[in-house]
Structure 1
Amino acid sequence: MDEQTTLAGRVALVTGGSRGIGRGIAEALGRAGAAVAVNYRHREDEAAAAVAAIDEAGGRAIAVCADVSVAAEVQALTEQVVSELGPVDVLVNNAGIATIRGVDDITEADFDQTLSVNLKSAFLCTQAVLPGMRERGWGRIVNISSIAARGAGGIGVHYNASKSGLEGLTRGYAARLAPDGITVNAIAPGLVDTEMAAPLKESGVADRIPVGRIGRPDEIGQAVLMVIGNAYLTGQTVAVNGGGSFV
């Protein structure tokens, strides 16, 4: 599969695409030929840097500010992307938060916010792009899960619940949207070298990963391209964790 032409003429939206794993995915999609909408919530400068990197590599991108856990903002985001780039063909639900909390420290507010940002946002964004994908008979949705969906993880039970829910959402949509030419899959990264993972990285967990290191954002981007490129793959969660888990 030629990465340079795979997504030529397609439009991709990456939520939380301004940094970390999201940026790695956005840049991979840009290299593959897609026009990329980089969604962000707070860090405008980092979103601009991601757009510049895609542009400098010969791609096309825009930055769009929106809180994707809020329905009205998702609607406005989608309308802006359609207006500036065209209908969304590829949706990557990457936006998420990882607030570390112990069992005795987690609050109801922590739980609600995590479920809203990590899970509800994927539902809202998927619902927003579905009509256009159905109309064109083609669509690719990729949800960014985590090894915490099927293991203990190091963030907290609220994070476990949000990522497990995301994988359930993936399977539910996949079963219902396959006849429309839309595939829905999840990528479950292990520890990746990002700002969000810094507290875990410093704990020495990398020493227990079989490949001997933590992952890179661009490697998650490669995995996203892999599932997008396979029209027969849907409803699956692909673990990308350096051999740290085989579940």
Structure 2
Amino acid sequence: MTDLGLKGRAALVTGASRNIGRAIALALAEAGASIAIIARSDKDAAEAVAREVEAFGVKAKVLIGDVASEADAARLVSEAASALGRLDILVNNAAIRREAPVEELSYKDWRDVISVTLDGAFLMSRAAIPHLRAGGSGAIINIGGLTAYTGAVNRVHVVSAKAGLDGMTKALAQELSPDGITVNLVSPGMIETNREHTKAGDPTHHKTTRTLVGRRGTPEEVAAAVAYLASMQARFTTGQTLHINGGAFLP
């Protein structure tokens, strides 16, 4: 990998125990950053990722907690910064992606998705800002989604949460620029991931959406975009959305 200027820096990645989150953690580790791997409950999977991270010769710290909890978010950031000695990069990847027709969608299901995806990104960002500011060149990268821009059936809660991340990214980019903190969003679409843990098949919109390149993307292709936005080479990039979807959506 090209030198991205991440050696000696530290990153916290939420939802890092599998799929895109795991790939992001490994890409940042390969570029030289130490990684705090955040998972909600699957400690075994998170520790497996930690071993992969450490194989790159950098430090890994596994932390278990709920990003939607104000107390947990503050604890996770504090413990990550303490364990790694600093915090330069925050990747808000944790999300819930359930499907249900709107008339069958309970308020609890709505809140579950919004709280993890949108509230969690807010709580983690707010807690991380003092640490990111201290380094003078911090970066927040939010992980959005294709359907925030196209819509999707049976996903009003997911679409709303991801669309909210887009707005939050733009607002934070403006507010945090004086502190030397960039804020950007990576929006994956049509990515091949393992969904066994969700007990659900492919999202409904995958059956009708096609890419221009004739295949689905990989978590590693999303992770490469995140690594660039976290790098010292991207200090002139803030408030932007980077679409990684093989041409399935052309903004």
Coarse TM-score class (shorter-chain normalised)? over 0.9
Q: Describe the shift of the 1:108–1:78 C-alpha distance in structure 2 as closer, same or farther (beyond 3 A).
A: same
Q: 2: distance between equivalents of 1:138 and 1:112?
A: 34
Q: What secondary structure does 2:161 align onto?
A: helix
Query: Structure 1 residues 204 and 175, CA, compared in 2 at 3 Å: closer, same or farther?
Result: closer
Contact 2:50 2:60 in 1 (8 A): yes
Residues 207 and 213, structure 1, Cα contact 8 Å, conserved in 2 = no
Matched AA of 1:38: I
1:234 is aligned with what amino acid? T
Q: CA deviation at 1:182?
A: 0.5
Does the alignment pair 1:41 with 2:43? no
Distance 1:193 1:143, change over 3 A: same
CA distance in 2, matches of 1:184, 1:28: 19
Which position in structure 1 is the counterpart of 2:217?
Answer: 215
Question: 2:190 maps to what in 1?
Answer: 191
How many angstroms apart in 2 are the aligned matches of 1:236 and 1:154? Answer: 26
Helix, strand or coil for the counterpart of 1:69? coil
Asked if structure 1 preserves the Cα contact closer than 8 Å seen for 2:37 and 2:60, the reply is yes
* Contact 1:191–1:201 under 8 Å retained in 2: no
Q: Unpaired runs of 5+ in structure 2?
A: none
Please list the CA deviations of residues 182-239 of structure 1 after superposition, one character each: whole Å capped at 9, or x if unmatched. 0000000002122349622698638822211111111111010122231111001110
Query: 130-139 or 177-186, which moves further after superposition?
Result: 130-139
Distance 1:88 1:239, change over 3 A: same
Secondary structure (helix, strand or coil) at the match of 1:101 reads coil
Structure 2 distance, partners of 1:202, 1:214, is 15
- 1:132 is aligned to 131
Q: Which moved more, 1:26-35 or 1:155-164?
A: 155-164
* Structure 1 residue aligned with 2:2: 2
Contact 2:89 2:138 in 1 (8 A): yes
Partner of 1:241: 245
TM-score relative to the length of structure 1: 0.94
Q: Which residue of 1 aligns with 2:99?
A: 100
| 1:133 shift after superposition | 1.9
With 71-80 and 236-245 compared, the bigger mean Cα shift is at 71-80
| Other-structure match for 2:226 | 224
CA separation of 1:154 and 1:12: change in aligned 2, threshold 3 A = farther
Structure 1: how far apart are the matches of 2:206 and 2:167? 31
Q: Percent identity?
A: 39
Per-residue deviation, 1:6: 2.0
Q: How does 1:25-40 map to 2 (within 5 A)?
A: 25-40=24-39
Residue aligning to 1:151: 150
Q: Deviations over 1:10-69 (max 9, x none)?
A: 010000111011001000000010000000011111101111111123332111101010
TM-score after normalising by structure 2: 0.92
Work out the CA distance in 2 between the residues paired with 1:113 and 1:213.
31
Aligned length: 246
Unaligned runs of 5+ in 1: none
- Distance (Å, rounded) in 1 between the aligned partners of 2:229 and 2:47: 27
Partner deviation per Cα, 1:59-86 (whole Å, 9 max, x = no partner):
3211110101001111111121122112
> CA 1:207 to 1:236, structure 2 compared with 1: closer, same or farther past 3 Å?
closer
Residues 24 and 154 of structure 1: CA distance in aligned 2, closer, same or farther (over 3 Å): farther
Say what the alpha-carbon RMSD is for the aligned residues. 1.9
* Equivalent AA in structure 2 for residue 245 of structure 1: F
Partners of 1:34 and 1:218 lie apart in 2 by 17
The 3-state SS of whatever aligns with 1:95 is coil
CA distance in 2, matches of 1:101, 1:166: 21
Distance 1:132 1:160 in 2: 30
